[in-house]
Amino acid sequence: MSAAGVLGILIFLAVLFALAMPMGKYIHNVLENRVHWLRPLEDWILAIIGPAAKKEQTWRQYWRSFIVFNLICMLITYAVLRLDTYLPLSQGVGLGLSPQGPHLAFNTAASFTTNTNWQSYSGETLTYLAQLFLMVLQFITPAFGLVIAAVFIRGLVGRRDTLGNFYADLVRSLVYIFLPVASIGAVVLLALGLPDTFAGPAIVHTLQGAVQQIDRGPVAAFETIKQLGTNGGGFFNANAAHPFENPNPVSNMVLILLMSILSTSLVFTFGAYAKNRKQAIVLAGVTAVLYMAGTAVVYWALVNGNPLIHQALGLSPVSYEGLEVRNGLPGTALFVSTTTAYTTGAINAWHDSLPPLAGGIPLLFMMLNTVFGGKGAGLLNILMFALVTVFVAGLMVGRTPEFLGKRIERKEITLATVAMLIHPIIILAPTAFALVHKVGTSSILNPGFHGLSEVIYAFTSGAANNGSAFAGLSTNTPFYNVSIGLVMLVGRYLSMAAMVAMAGSLAAKRIVPASAGTLATDSWSFAWVYLFVTLIVGALTFFPALALGPIAEHLVMMGGAVK
């Protein structure tokens, strides 16, 4: 690990926080209807929606609008994927175009509506229309997560009957957050050399006289929203390792920043809502500690690589397999941890080829699902664990636990427990099934511990709505398409439903004024308890799986045996 590398990562973190703090306040203003610099556009869209966008909604009404809208998105996507070659814009980046089969289309539709962007297909097989459609989804699905987080925050911080309007929230966050930030990002990426065209593949004649087809398309625009919206589905199958998606170290850092900016900002949005900046700093700070610790482990594992190679061949042990050299080790380590911490799922290196511990961190981050996480969904998880922490810690100070003055009682704990339970169950149960049944095992390309890591990675990626793949597992089978599709849907909507219901319950509660006897949740002592609870509950749940996967693999490798 070089000093320059470590310094670079720390500078990135400083830049991220420096941007996220004002951005968080800005998002708060947008959500509270105080930002109007694109009024004509905003009014035009709201006018199309009509009166539905004007009425304040209770948590039930909000949730109904949300879920119906999501369902419609998913159904349309499914139809487009099944029929794309018969529809306009039917040419594509590649030449092997064909409509998707039912289970693959279900998987893809579920994947893109849940902001997972898991791809069981390679991007080149889609028509421009399908790609554009998926791009629209990549634009709006992160906003879905963001507005649900807004609902929860509103319920938590105030005493009110209604929690906002889904359509108005959605439109405003698209117009004032995603559109401007994506535009800036796209321009920057264009300047950094990403192509952006509808001209179809370029046909070039090489110096040797051969003819080569180079796939291209509206990459810069696609890339920006893919990262910004923590979508991660690549324009090309090689994703951000492809030189058109990520040409140089600068674009690499810009991509990482785009992935992390909004979810980090949302923590400060929460702070602005709670009128408690320190609360946001404490939660973001302790999360950043986890984020950086994971990044350090990946970096360390890359640098130290595989000692066997060093012993046997006398070569540098540094692990370059599956890496793009131009991104460098720190650039790769930070990308690997960021794409899983923020559940983006883009990759700039082949996670399957990473040294075991470096591959274990992405897995751990997705299992925790609280290291900033996806748009809104990550903040919901952070607050869910904060709530459980408040409950346990609150009892330890001898009062009925309160979070921001709201008493955490049986109903809240029940809903938080439901939200907390879903994640491990939908990861472990299908993994266990896949490992013993032929439909699952037949797709495993690498036997042993690595095969176990591959399967658990696939379901974890789906459950966390991450979408990155460990590869090494052929997932375009009916079993994996359907099971991972279901895992993505349950992982997103069931936990969100529990949190929105909790918001409804919290919103009706009186705010208990804070006193010296109240547990201060904006203190660093609380932060450590939060970390303790997250790690014990979140990580210990997966400890056996991790021990049998990456940890066993690492120990075997270090022990010098090749299996």
Backbone angles phi, psi at 305, to 5 degrees: 45, -135
Distance CA 498, CA 493 (A): 9
Min dist. Cβ of residue 408 to another protein (A)? 7
Q: Are 543 and 360 in contact (CB under 8 A)?
A: no
170 binds another protein (CB under 8 A): no
Q: Which of 256, 288, 382, 388 binds another protein (CB under 8 A)?
A: 388
517 binds another protein (CB under 8 A): yes
397 binds another protein (CB under 8 A): yes
Considering only 49-57, 253-261, 279-287, 412-420, which stretch makes contact with another protein by CB under 8 A?
A: 412-420
Pick 353 or 417: Cβ nearer another protein: 417
CB-count burial class (<10 Å; 0-12, 13-18, 19+) for 136: middle
Q: Which of 83, 190, 192, 512 binds another protein (CB under 8 A)?
A: 512
Q: Which of 62, 268, 391, 480 binds another protein (CB under 8 A)?
A: 391
486 binds another protein (CB under 8 A): no
- Those residues with Cβ within 8 angstroms of residue 455's Cβ, 6 or more apart along the chain or in another chain: 431, 434, 435, 440, 444, 473
418 binds another protein (CB under 8 A): yes
Min dist. Cβ of residue 499 to another protein (A)? 15
Strand ranges, E, within 166-229: 202-205, 211-214
| Side-chain half-sphere CA neighbours of 487 within 13 A | 30
Number of residues lying near another protein (CB under 8 A): 70
- Those residues with Cβ within 8 angstroms of residue 454's Cβ, 6 or more apart along the chain or in another chain: 352, 444, 445, 446, 470, 471, 472, 473
- Closest Cα partner for 121 from 289, 233, 10? 233
Q: How distant is the alpha carbon of residue 253 from its chain centre?
A: 17
Q: Which of 85, 237, 417, 476 binds another protein (CB under 8 A)?
A: 417
446 binds another protein (CB under 8 A): no
399 binds another protein (CB under 8 A): yes
Min dist. Cβ of residue 486 to another protein (A)? 16
448 binds another protein (CB under 8 A): yes
- Closest Cα partner for 23 from 270, 245, 326, 380? 270
Ramachandran class of 232: left when φ > 0, alpha when ψ lies in -120 to 50, beta otherwise: left
Q: How distant is the alpha carbon of residue 536 from its chain centre?
A: 22
562 binds another protein (CB under 8 A): no
Pick 40 or 398: Cβ nearer another protein: 398
Token couple for 522: 């904006």
Pick 228 or 546: Cβ nearer another protein: 546
274 binds another protein (CB under 8 A): no
Min dist. Cβ of residue 17 to another protein (A)? 25
Residue matched to tokens 């609870």: 533
Pick 72 or 429: Cβ nearer another protein: 429
Pick 76 or 552: Cβ nearer another protein: 552
Residues in contact with another protein, shown as a per-residue x/- string from 530 to 559 under the rule CB under 8 A: --x---xx--xxxxxx-xx--xx--xx-xx
Token couple for 30: 């947008």
Distance CA 156, CA 503 (A): 6
286 binds another protein (CB under 8 A): no
Distance CA 105, CA 98 (A): 12
Rounded to 5 degrees, what angle do the CA atoms 536, 488, 56 make? 95
- Contact residues for another protein (CB under 8 A)? 388, 391-400, 405, 408-410, 412-414, 417-418, 420-421, 424-425, 428-429, 431-433, 435-436, 441, 448-449, 451-452, 510-520, 523, 525-526, 528-529, 532, 536-537, 540-545, 547-548, 551-552, 555-556, 558-559, 561
